[in-house]
Structure 1
Amino acid sequence: MPRILMERSGEMEVFARVVEKSSFSAAARSLDLTPSAVSKLIGRLEGRLGTRLLARTTRALTLTEEGVAYHRAAERILGELNAADQAVATGSARGRIRVNASVPFGTTFVAPSIGRFVADHPNLTVDLSFTDEVVNLLEEKADVAIRVGTLPDSTLKARKLAQSRRVVCAAPDYLKRHGTPQLPADLSKHNCLTFNFRRSRIGWPFRHKRREFEQPVSGNLQVNNGETMRQIVLSGVGIARLGRWHVADAIRSGALVPLLEEFNPDDLELIHAVYLGGGTVPSRVRTFVDYMIETLGRSDVFEPAR
Structure 2
Amino acid sequence: MPRTEVNRFAEMEIFARVVEQGGFSAAARVSGVSASAVSKLVARLEARLGTRLVHRTTRRFQLTPEGQSFYERSVAILADLAEAERSAGAGEKPAGRVRINSSASYVSHILAPILPRFLERYPEIALDIVQTDLVVDLLADRTDIAIRAGPMPSSALMARKLGSTRMTIVAAPVWIERHGLPRTIADLDRQERLGFGYARAVKGWPLRTAEGEGLVLPTIGRVRMSDGEGIRRLALAGVGPARLAAFTIRDDIADSRLVPLLEDANPGDEEEFYAVFIGQSASLPARARALLDFLAEHGQVA
Q: Normalized against structure 1, the TM-score is what?
A: 0.64
RMSD: 3.0
Compared with structure 1, are the counterparts of its residues 104 and 212 closer, same or farther at alpha carbon in structure 2 (3 Å cutoff)?
same
In 2, Cα distance between equivalents of 1:270 and 1:222: 22
SS at match of 2:268: coil
Which ranges in structure 1 are unaligned for 5 or more consecutive residues?
9-78
Q: Which residue of 2 aligns with 1:262?
A: 264
Compared with structure 1, are the counterparts of its residues 85 and 199 closer, same or farther at alpha carbon in structure 2 (3 Å cutoff)?
closer
Give percent identity, aligned residues only. 35
Aligned residues: 224
Compared with structure 1, are the counterparts of its residues 288 and 264 closer, same or farther at alpha carbon in structure 2 (3 Å cutoff)?
same
Compared with structure 1, are the counterparts of its residues 120 and 265 closer, same or farther at alpha carbon in structure 2 (3 Å cutoff)?
same
Q: Which residue of 2 aligns with 1:176?
A: 177
Compared with structure 1, are the counterparts of its residues 93 and 227 closer, same or farther at alpha carbon in structure 2 (3 Å cutoff)?
same
CA contact (8 A) 1:99 1:126 kept: no
Q: Does 1:134 align with 2:135?
A: yes
Q: Which amino acid aligns with 2:214?
A: E
Q: Which residue of 1 aligns with 2:74?
A: none
Compared with structure 1, are the counterparts of its residues 169 and 143 closer, same or farther at alpha carbon in structure 2 (3 Å cutoff)?
same
Q: Which amino acid aligns with 1:256?
A: L
Q: Does 1:284 align with 2:287?
A: yes
Deviations 1:133-156 (A, max 9, x none): 433222232211111234344311
In 1, Cα distance between equivalents of 2:298 and 2:264: 30
Q: Which residue of 1 aligns with 2:46?
A: none
Deviations 1:122-176 (A, max 9, x none): 4x41323122143322223221111123434431111111211111000000101
Q: Which residue of 1 aligns with 2:166?
A: 165
Q: Which residue of 2 aligns with 1:185?
A: 186
Matches within 5 A, 1:8-47: none
CA contact (8 A) 1:187 1:217 kept: no
In 2, Cα distance between equivalents of 1:202 and 1:210: 20
Compared with structure 1, are the counterparts of its residues 200 and 82 closer, same or farther at alpha carbon in structure 2 (3 Å cutoff)?
closer
Q: Does 1:221 align with 2:223?
A: yes
In 2, Cα distance between equivalents of 1:251 and 1:155: 39
In 2, Cα distance between equivalents of 1:188 and 1:260: 12
Q: Which residue of 1 aligns with 2:254?
A: 252
Q: Normalized against structure 2, the TM-score is what?
A: 0.64
SS at match of 1:134: coil
CA contact (8 A) 1:171 1:236 kept: yes
CA contact (8 A) 2:85 2:283 kept: no
Q: Which residue of 2 aligns with 1:97?
A: 98
Shift of 1:105: 1.6
Which of 240, 243, 246 is matched with 1:241 structurally? 243
Compared with structure 1, are the counterparts of its residues 178 and 83 closer, same or farther at alpha carbon in structure 2 (3 Å cutoff)?
same
Moved more, 248-257 or 143-152: 143-152
Shift of 1:286: 3.2
Q: Does 1:195 align with 2:208?
A: no
Moved more, 210-219 or 271-280: 210-219
Shift of 1:80: 10
Shift of 1:232: 1.3
Q: Which amino acid aligns with 1:165?
A: R
Deviations 1:240-277 (A, max 9, x none): 11111222222222111111112211111111101012
Q: Which residue of 2 aligns with 1:151?
A: 152
Which of 231, 234, 240 is matched with 1:232 structurally? 234
Runs of 4+ with deviation above 4 angstroms: 2-5, 79-84
CA contact (8 A) 2:171 2:260 kept: yes
In 2, Cα distance between equivalents of 1:197 and 1:265: 23
CA contact (8 A) 1:185 1:215 kept: no
Deviations 1:11-46 (A, max 9, x none): xxxxxxxxxxxxxxxxxxxxxxxxxxxxxxxxxxxx
In 1, Cα distance between equivalents of 2:177 and 2:190: 14
In 2, Cα distance between equivalents of 1:116 and 1:105: 16
Q: Which amino acid aligns with 1:284?
A: R
Which ranges in structure 2 are unaligned for 5 or more consecutive residues?
8-81
Deviations 1:74-100 (A, max 9, x none): xxxxx998765232x35x544433222
In 1, Cα distance between equivalents of 2:119 and 2:204: 43
Q: Which residue of 2 aligns with 1:51?
A: none
SS at match of 2:250: helix
Q: Which amino acid aligns with 2:225?
A: V
In 2, Cα distance between equivalents of 1:186 and 1:200: 25
CA contact (8 A) 1:80 1:279 kept: no
